């Protein structure tokens, strides 16, 4: 079986190939982010959107409202 004729390489083809090879060699690979081990009893700061009426309910008894929300979430999670 005969092969189809190859088209001649152009300067644009060579430049594209050279740029691709250079980029592949010079591009830094992103280092994987190390997985953090969860330490028991240590709290993590997060952002959480809560309806205003729910927030008012937990804040009505004053300081410690974040602990009360945490306890309610823990109970809902079955822990």
pTM: predicted TM-score of the whole model, two decimal places: 0.48
Is residue 14 domain-resident? no
Is residue 42 domain-resident? no
* Total domains in the fold of the chain: 1
- In Å, how far are 8, 15, 16, 17, 19 from 12, measured between CA atoms? 11, 5, 6, 9, 10
Domain that holds residue 53: 48-79
Is residue 25 domain-resident? no
Q: How many angstroms separate the CA atoms of 60 and 54, rounded?
A: 10
Q: Is the dihedral of CA 22, 24, 25, 29 positive or negative?
A: positive
pLDDT in tens, 27-61: 677 788 787 777 777 888 889 899 999 999 999 99
**At 75, is the pLDDT very low, low, confident or very high (cuts 50, 70, 90)?**
very high
Is residue 33 domain-resident? no
């Amino acid at each position: 079986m005969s092969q189809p004729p190859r088209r001649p390489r152009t300067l644009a083809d060579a430049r594209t190939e050279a740029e691709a090879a250079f980029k592949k060699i010079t591009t830094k690979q992103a280092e994987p982010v190390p997985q953090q081990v969860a330490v028991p009893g240590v709290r993590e700061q997060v952002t959480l959107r809560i309806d205003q009426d729910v927030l008012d309910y937990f804040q009505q008894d004053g300081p410690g409202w974040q602990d009360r929300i945490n306890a309610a979430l823990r109970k809902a999670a079955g822990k």
